[in-house]
């Protein structure tokens, strides 16, 4: 069973303008003073789009840190 590494927005060298704007809306939405339910609905919609298009629901969130190499890197 081969597991493909998840894709993240921060991994992209030159993302399309559409993805840049989705990332910006997701990050700035909490600072605008809108109704909490509206903010959550916007963020859920963006995350659902990311899951459908990119295969990773956490595409726009920060990539998790790793504290070491992978097994592939450790094998000579």
Give domain status of residue 27, yes or no.
Answer: yes
- Tokens representing 56? 């990773």
pLDDT of 69 reads 60
Alpha-carbon radius of gyration of the chain: 16
Task: Please tell me the predicted confidence (pLDDT) of residue 66.
Answer: 64
Domain extent at residue 57: 11-61
Domain count, the chain: 1
Confirm whether 74 is domain-assigned.
no
Is 40 part of any domain?
yes
With respect to residue 52, please indicate whether it lies within any of the assigned structural domains.
yes
Average pLDDT over residues 13-33: 82
> How many CB atoms are located within 10 Å of the residue 49 CB?
16
Residue 51 lies in a domain: yes
Assigned domain for 29 exists: yes
Average pLDDT, stretch 22-42?
Answer: 83
Residue 5 lies in a domain: no
Residue at 67 is within a domain:
no
| Residue 3 in tokens | 């597991």
Cα separation, 60 vs 27, in Å, equals: 9
Return d(Cα 24, Cα 39) in angstroms, integer: 13
């Amino acid at each position: 069973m081969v597991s493909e590494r998840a894709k993240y927005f921060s991994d992209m060298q030159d993302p399309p303008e559409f993805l840049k704007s989705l990332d910006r809306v997701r990050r700035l939405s909490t600072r605008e003073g809108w109704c909490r339910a509206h903010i959550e609905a916007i963020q859920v919609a963006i995350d659902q789009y990311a899951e459908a298009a990119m295969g990773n629901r956490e595409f726009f969130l920060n990539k998790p840190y790793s504290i070491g190499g992978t097994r592939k890197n450790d094998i000579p």
